[in-house]
């Protein structure tokens, strides 16, 4: 079942890029039992040498040839015992011709002596250079998915589990950390030797090494060391960012029904890390960008989520290992879902529900704008392509649905069973289904069939009406993802068949504010056709309707209720996600009444997430009165709401808004993100055509000042100014300023923001300037650092000239990274589409915007007149 592949439908782009093919684990000559790396690092030369010893237990007799993955390793010799073996190494694999064929179940140890110079991947050397003299000297590894073969020869796929040992010699001033326990250290002249041993089995992609002059912050959980390693001087940031780890270990030990399994847990923050974090067994590596200073910790929860995510992997991924990449959702979905579970524990139910909505939206965006695919598929070009929002966020949604379907008790019982039964082993999706069945008796195949083994999700439209004479509520549910026929009803393979609770809510009797007192009468109906109507006899007319009470299912939903019902739901529905849906539907109805209701909620709603969403919705009602409502939100006590308000204000392109935003930038805000959003929005107003628009000069002056003065944490604020400049598409001065910040030596975060923004600004520039941009991006595309390449691809993908395609193609050909290649290929398609929308269409679009703006003025005035007339 897990290998069924459904192609995408309904005009959704296919996931499969040209060249995609099925991938299987290789045949297994035997069980790898132990891997021992004995290495000497030469940091100045960015090279290392040593021996990799692999003990393998042959599965049968008579094997005389072994094929190991080994990319660009200089193999010096291969020995079994003292006997030299013949071998052949072609830069991809190492073929060993065994002198003596194997005897079944009689283990042999193969010792491979090798060296590596300037490795391309797998093991990374980071250090100062003339452009970045302050960069720390570090060495770190990244194995997932198939990069361990770039730093040691191995059977490089997750289906092989073995114990491991790493002994490494480094210059004395450095510390070296690896999986498991430190068994010994030894001084050797100017060097020091660290010997680490991992005695529980794990796959090659989780073997790691990190070397640097770190500060060590000691913590513990149940007597086990829980240490944080950061660059010296950032100890306080380290504690602030990772300090909740022991509580998290406690929480996940209980949630998984299995105490933390490894002898220690270390988190090492490294420079230039290409991912957010990597859950190497007992030794997680994190990007040093996750380290929060005090001000950033005000409204940054991303770091806490990252810490929870990587920690959860120690069980889901490291203790229970996936057998093949096609099942990676089991670990990535769970680690992402654990961000939700931790949010629930730490910040409560509403925050967790809102976090879950964010996960769903991330997946939905990829599904609409990128491609649709089944979560489980083994058809791809490179495994790393699977690491997308289907794998992580949709995977999290699937776990949430399992949780909702089983309820708390059975869900945790099933998870405990799954972890206990599969500890120190490999799993496939079917094993999760089996554990659920074993623990709960429930067969969730229907859920997996619809959400895991095939792409997509239901798009519901829900209409409601009340028949007062018969006291009947009528609810009509349409699955709008089924485009075509009425005849096809129920038979289409796109139809979802789910049992969905529909609630009818009544206002609380006394305290009108007491949401928890709102009384909801719930009926569960089976929704399995394209369109179905349900009739519910009720004693009284409900105040609001709640579709999918508790928001169990991954879906989109459009509500077609009356204004009164939507307003009541916005006020009384205990589920914040339902309130957000109501806000959206209300905004869609538009009009002064909606503006009033939403403005009121922005002031009074207790949960910050709903206030932030309401701000976003308010601006969608194209009435000038929305401005008044929004502006009051600038005083919100929660920085995340202020940020949403500022972003929303950026869409109201008037001089008045500009003044409000400028004052935020000038006076500053407690939050980096709010300041950044304000700087960015200022630029977008300057880039539009407001009636009394601030001159480019004025705005440039403001943003220049930000760039000059607001250095700081991860360059968030200055990157906001860059994004503002990018919106001033017709300004040559803005372009020149951005180009200046793409220079090497610019702090990396700021430089990457400047590179990305070249795409946005390119669409309004003169031909000559467009050439300058292309030239600069072509130069930058030659830099090999992963994050630079990604930024270049993002910029080129936004351009509207065929010349961008050539640079993208050559980047795709030359990059060693599968993700960059895939992104570049997708960017080519985007540019082709952009080019299709020629200048004439652009002109029309601008004219239309102008007409819309005038129309909005008229409507706003009319609404005011009507409101007055009503009062009179
Ligand atoms: Zn992960």
Q: 248-262: per-residue pLDDT in tens?
A: 999 999 999 999 999
**Which pTM value belongs to this model?**
0.94
Q: How far is the CA of 314 from the centre of ligand 1 (A)?
A: 10
Q: How far is the CA of 486 from the centre of ligand 1 (A)?
A: 42
Q: How far is the CA of 784 from the centre of ligand 1 (A)?
A: 24
Q: How far is the CA of 312 from the centre of ligand 1 (A)?
A: 9
Section 620-635 average pLDDT = 93
Q: How far is the CA of 804 from the centre of ligand 1 (A)?
A: 33
Task: Tell me what pLDDT residue 859 has.
Answer: 79
Helix (H) or strand (E) holding 501: strand 498-506
More confident residue, 428 or 655: 428
Q: What's the whole-number average pLDDT of the chain?
A: 93
Q: How far is the CA of 395 from the centre of ligand 1 (A)?
A: 11
Q: What percent of the chain has pLDDT over 90?
A: 87
Q: How far is the CA of 281 from the centre of ligand 1 (A)?
A: 13
Q: How far is the CA of 313 from the centre of ligand 1 (A)?
A: 7
State the Cα–Cα distance between residues 675 and 794, nearest whole angstrom.
Answer: 24
* 214: pLDDT strictly greater than 90: yes
Handedness of CA 178, 184, 185, 187 (dihedral sign): negative
Task: Tell me what pLDDT residue 690 has.
Answer: 60
- Taking a C-beta distance cutoff of 8 angstroms, is the pair 569, 580 a contact? no
The three-point CA angle 820-824-825 to 5° equals 120
* 841: pLDDT strictly greater than 80: no
Task: Tell me what pLDDT residue 16 has.
Answer: 77
Q: How far is the CA of 328 from the centre of ligand 1 (A)?
A: 9
Q: How far is the CA of 658 from the centre of ligand 1 (A)?
A: 41
Q: Which residues of 529-568 are buried (b: 16+ CB within 10 A; e: fewer)?
A: bbebeeebeeeeebbbbbbbbebbbbbbbebbbeeebbbb
Q: How far is the CA of 194 from the centre of ligand 1 (A)?
A: 28
Q: How far is the CA of 646 from the centre of ligand 1 (A)?
A: 32
Q: How far is the CA of 316 from the centre of ligand 1 (A)?
A: 9
Q: How far is the CA of 459 from the centre of ligand 1 (A)?
A: 28
Q: How far is the CA of 444 from the centre of ligand 1 (A)?
A: 24
Kindly indicate the confidence band of residue 2, based on its pLDDT and cuts at 50, 70 and 90: very low
DSSP-based three-state secondary structure for 475 = strand
Q: How far is the CA of 204 from the centre of ligand 1 (A)?
A: 16
State the Cα–Cα distance between residues 550 and 570, nearest whole angstrom.
Answer: 15
- Taking a C-beta distance cutoff of 8 angstroms, is the pair 429, 370 a contact? no
Q: How far is the CA of 818 from the centre of ligand 1 (A)?
A: 18
Q: How far is the CA of 163 from the centre of ligand 1 (A)?
A: 22
Section 800-812 average pLDDT = 95
Q: How far is the CA of 307 from the centre of ligand 1 (A)?
A: 10
Q: How far is the CA of 492 from the centre of ligand 1 (A)?
A: 35
Q: How far is the CA of 589 from the centre of ligand 1 (A)?
A: 40
Section 180-201 average pLDDT = 98
Q: How far is the CA of 813 from the centre of ligand 1 (A)?
A: 28
What string of H, E and C letters represents the secondary structure of 236-257? HHHHHHHCCHHHHHHHHHHHCC
Q: How far is the CA of 391 from the centre of ligand 1 (A)?
A: 10
Q: How far is the CA of 241 from the centre of ligand 1 (A)?
A: 18
Q: How far is the CA of 331 from the centre of ligand 1 (A)?
A: 7
Q: How far is the CA of 508 from the centre of ligand 1 (A)?
A: 43
Q: How far is the CA of 585 from the centre of ligand 1 (A)?
A: 34
Handedness of CA 637, 639, 640, 641 (dihedral sign): positive
Section 519-542 average pLDDT = 96
Q: Where are the beta strands (DSSP E) in 257-383?
A: 265-270, 277-278, 283-287, 320-322, 379-380
Section 550-564 average pLDDT = 97
Q: How far is the CA of 36 from the centre of ligand 1 (A)?
A: 26
* 10: pLDDT strictly greater than 60: no
Kindly indicate the confidence band of residue 7, based on its pLDDT and cuts at 50, 70 and 90: very low
Q: How far is the CA of 265 from the centre of ligand 1 (A)?
A: 16
Q: 676-702: per-residue pLDDT in tens?
A: 999 999 999 988 866 667 888 999 999
Hey, how many other C-beta atoms are within 10 angstroms of the C-beta on 260? 23
DSSP characters over 53-93: EEEEEESSTT--EEEEE-SS-EEEEEEETTEE-EEEE-SSE
- Taking a C-beta distance cutoff of 8 angstroms, is the pair 230, 217 a contact? yes
Q: How far is the CA of 310 from the centre of ligand 1 (A)?
A: 6
* 207: pLDDT strictly greater than 80: yes
Q: How far is the CA of 844 from the centre of ligand 1 (A)?
A: 45
Q: How far is the CA of 317 from the centre of ligand 1 (A)?
A: 8
Q: How far is the CA of 392 from the centre of ligand 1 (A)?
A: 8
Q: How far is the CA of 278 from the centre of ligand 1 (A)?
A: 7
Q: How far is the CA of 302 from the centre of ligand 1 (A)?
A: 14
DSSP-based three-state secondary structure for 639 = helix
Q: How many helices (H) and strands (E) does the chain have?
A: 25, 31
Q: How far is the CA of 15 from the centre of ligand 1 (A)?
A: 21
With tokens 């099942």, the residue in question is 327
What's the N-to-C CA distance of the chain in angstroms? 69
* 556: pLDDT strictly greater than 50: yes
Per-residue CA distances from 527 to 457, 476, 499 (Å) = 13, 10, 6
Q: 708-754: per-residue pLDDT in tens?
A: 999 999 999 999 999 999 999 999 999 999 999 999 999 999 999 99
Q: How far is the CA of 308 from the centre of ligand 1 (A)?
A: 10
Q: How far is the CA of 359 from the centre of ligand 1 (A)?
A: 14
Kindly indicate the confidence band of residue 354, based on its pLDDT and cuts at 50, 70 and 90: very high
Task: Tell me what pLDDT residue 866 has.
Answer: 73
The β-bridge relationship of strands 556-560 and 459-467 is parallel
Q: 726-739: per-residue pLDDT in tens?
A: 999 999 999 999 99
Task: Tell me what pLDDT residue 489 has.
Answer: 53
Q: How far is the CA of 574 from the centre of ligand 1 (A)?
A: 32
Q: How far is the CA of 393 from the centre of ligand 1 (A)?
A: 11
Q: What percent of the chain has pLDDT over 70?
A: 95
More confident residue, 198 or 508: 198
The β-bridge relationship of strands 162-171 and 191-202 is antiparallel
Q: How far is the CA of 442 from the centre of ligand 1 (A)?
A: 28
Q: How far is the CA of 680 from the centre of ligand 1 (A)?
A: 31
Q: 406-447: per-residue pLDDT in tens?
A: 999 999 999 999 999 999 999 999 999 999 999 999 999 999
Hey, how many other C-beta atoms are within 10 angstroms of the C-beta on 23? 17
Q: How far is the CA of 668 from the centre of ligand 1 (A)?
A: 35
Section 385-389 average pLDDT = 94
Handedness of CA 79, 83, 84, 85 (dihedral sign): negative
Section 608-612 average pLDDT = 98
DSSP-based three-state secondary structure for 816 = coil
Q: How far is the CA of 228 from the centre of ligand 1 (A)?
A: 19
Q: How far is the CA of 580 from the centre of ligand 1 (A)?
A: 28
* 847: pLDDT strictly greater than 80: no
Q: How far is the CA of 292 from the centre of ligand 1 (A)?
A: 20
Helix (H) or strand (E) holding 609: helix 608-618
Kindly indicate the confidence band of residue 538, based on its pLDDT and cuts at 50, 70 and 90: very high
Q: How far is the CA of 262 from the centre of ligand 1 (A)?
A: 18
Task: Tell me what pLDDT residue 516 has.
Answer: 67
DSSP characters over 687-703: HS--TTPPPHHHHHHHH
Task: Tell me what pLDDT residue 722 has.
Answer: 98
Q: How far is the CA of 167 from the centre of ligand 1 (A)?
A: 27
Section 51-70 average pLDDT = 97
- Residue 824 exposure: Cα atoms within 13 Å on the Cβ side: 24
Q: How far is the CA of 619 from the centre of ligand 1 (A)?
A: 35
Q: 491-506: per-residue pLDDT in tens?
A: 577 899 999 999 999 9
Q: How far is the CA of 332 from the centre of ligand 1 (A)?
A: 5
Q: How far is the CA of 397 from the centre of ligand 1 (A)?
A: 15
Q: 27-42: per-residue pLDDT in tens?
A: 999 999 999 999 999 9
Q: How far is the CA of 102 from the centre of ligand 1 (A)?
A: 38
Q: In a 10 Å sphere around its CB, with 0-12 CB exposed, 13-18 middle and 19+ buried, how is residue 809 labelled?
A: middle
DSSP-based three-state secondary structure for 410 = helix
Task: Tell me what pLDDT residue 432 has.
Answer: 98
Nearest to 504 by CA among 561, 447, 557: 561
């Amino acid at each position: 079942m897990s290998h069924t592949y459904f192609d995408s439908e309904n005009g959704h782009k296919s996931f499969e890029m040209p060249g995609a093919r099925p991938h299987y684990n290789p045949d297994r000559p035997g069980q790898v039992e132990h891997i021992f790396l004995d290495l000497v690092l030469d940091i100045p030369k960015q090279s290392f040498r040593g021996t990799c010893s692999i003990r393998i237990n042959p599965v049968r007799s008579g094997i005389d040839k072994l094929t190991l993955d080994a990319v660009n390793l200089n193999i010096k010799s291969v020995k079994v015992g003292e006997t030299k073996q013949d071998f052949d190494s072609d830069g991809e694999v190492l073929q060993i011709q065994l002198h003596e064929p194997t005897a079944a179940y009689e283990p042999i140890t193969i010792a491979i002596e090798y060296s590596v110079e300037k490795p391309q991947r797998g093991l990374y050397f980071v250090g100062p250079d003339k452009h970045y003299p302050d960069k720390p000297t570090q060495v770190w590894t990244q194995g997932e998915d198939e990069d361990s073969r770039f730093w040691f020869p191995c059977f490089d796929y997750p289906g092989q589990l073995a114990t491991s040992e790493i002994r490494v010699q480094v210059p004395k001033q450095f510390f070296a950390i690896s999986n498991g326990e430190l068994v010994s250290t030894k001084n050797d002249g100017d060097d020091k030797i660290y010997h680490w041993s991992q005695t529980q089995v794990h796959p090659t992609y989780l073997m790691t090494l990190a070397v640097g002059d770190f500060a060590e912050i000691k913590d513990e959980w149940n007597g086990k060391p829980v240490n944080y390693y950061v660059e010296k001087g950032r100890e306080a940031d380290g504690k602030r960012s990772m300090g909740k780890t022991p509580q998290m270990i406690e929480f996940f030990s209980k949630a998984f029904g299995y105490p933390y399994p490894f002898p220690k847990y270390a988190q090492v923050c490294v420079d230039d890390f290409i991912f957010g974090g990597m859950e190497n067994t007992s030794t997680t590596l994190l990007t040093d960008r996750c380290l929060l200073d005090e001000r950033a910790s005000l409204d940054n929860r991303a770091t806490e989520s990252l810490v929870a995510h990587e920690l959860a992997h120690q069980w889901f991924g490291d203790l229970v290992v996936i057998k093949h990449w096609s099942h990676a959702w089991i670990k990535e979905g769970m680690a992402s879902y654990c961000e939700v579970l931790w949010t629930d524990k730490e910040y409560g139910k509403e925050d967790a529900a809102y976090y879950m909505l964010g996960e769903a939206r991330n997946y939905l965006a990829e599904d609409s704008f990128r491609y649709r695919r089944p979560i489980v598929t083994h058809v791809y070009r490179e495994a790393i392509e699977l690491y997308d929002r289907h794998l992580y966020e949709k995977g999290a949604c699937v776990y949430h649905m399992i949780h909702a379907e089983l309820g708390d008790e059975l869900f945790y019982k099933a998870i405990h069973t799954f972890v206990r039964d599969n500890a120190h082993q490999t799993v496939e999706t079917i094993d999760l289904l089996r554990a659920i069945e074993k623990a709960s008796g429930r067969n969730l195949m229907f859920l997996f069939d619809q959400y895991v083994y095939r792409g997509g999700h239901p798009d519901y439209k829900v209409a409601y009406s009340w028949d007062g004479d018969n006291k009947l509520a009528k609810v009509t549910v349409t699955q709008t993802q089924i485009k075509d026929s009425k005849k096809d009803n129920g038979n289409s393979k796109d139809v979802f068949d789910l049992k969905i609770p529909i609630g009818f809510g009544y206002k609380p009797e006394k305290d009108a504010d007491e949401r928890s007192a709102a009384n909801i009468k719930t009926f569960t109906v089976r929704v399995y056709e394209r369109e179905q109507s349900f009739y519910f006899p009720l004693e009284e007319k409900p105040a609001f309707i709640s579709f999918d009470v508790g928001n169990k299912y991954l879906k989109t939903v459009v509500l077609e209720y009356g204004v009164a019902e939507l307003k009541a739901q916005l006020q009384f529905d205990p589920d914040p996600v339902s309130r957000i849906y109501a806000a959206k539907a209300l905004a869609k109805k538009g009009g002064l009444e909606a503006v009033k209701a939403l403005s009121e909620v922005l002031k009074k709603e207790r949960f910050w997430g709903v206030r932030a969403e309401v701000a976003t919705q308010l601006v969608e009602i194209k009435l000038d009165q929305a401005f008044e409502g929004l502006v009051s939100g600038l005083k919100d006590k929660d920085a995340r709401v202020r940020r949403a308000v500022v972003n929303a204000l950026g869409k109201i392109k008037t001089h008045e808004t500009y003044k409000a935003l400028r004052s935020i930038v000038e006076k500053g805000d407690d939050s980096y993100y709010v300041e950044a959003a304000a700087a960015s929005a200022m630029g977008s107003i300057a880039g539009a055509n407001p009636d009394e628009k601030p001159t480019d000069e004025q705005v440039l002056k403001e943003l220049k000042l930000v760039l000059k003065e607001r250095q700081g944490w991860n360059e968030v604020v200055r990157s906001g100014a860059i994004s503002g400049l990018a919106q001033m598409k017709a300004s040559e001065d803005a372009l020149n300023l951005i180009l200046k910040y793409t220079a090497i030596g610019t702090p990396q975060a700021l430089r990457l923001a400047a590179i990305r923004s070249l795409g946005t600004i390119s669409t309004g520039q003169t031909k000559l300037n467009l050439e300058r941009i292309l030239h600069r991006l072509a130069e930058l595309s030659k830099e090999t650092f992963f994050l630079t390449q990604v930024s270049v691809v993002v910029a080129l993908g936004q351009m509207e000239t065929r010349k961008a395609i050539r640079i993208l193609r050559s980047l795709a050909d030359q990059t060693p990274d599968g993700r960059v290649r895939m992104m570049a290929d997708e960017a080519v398609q985007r540019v082709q589409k952009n080019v299709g929308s020629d200048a004439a269409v652009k002109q029309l679009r601008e004219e239309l915007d102008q007409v819309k703006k005038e129309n909005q003025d008229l409507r706003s005035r009319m609404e005011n007149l009507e409101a007055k007339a009503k009062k009179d």
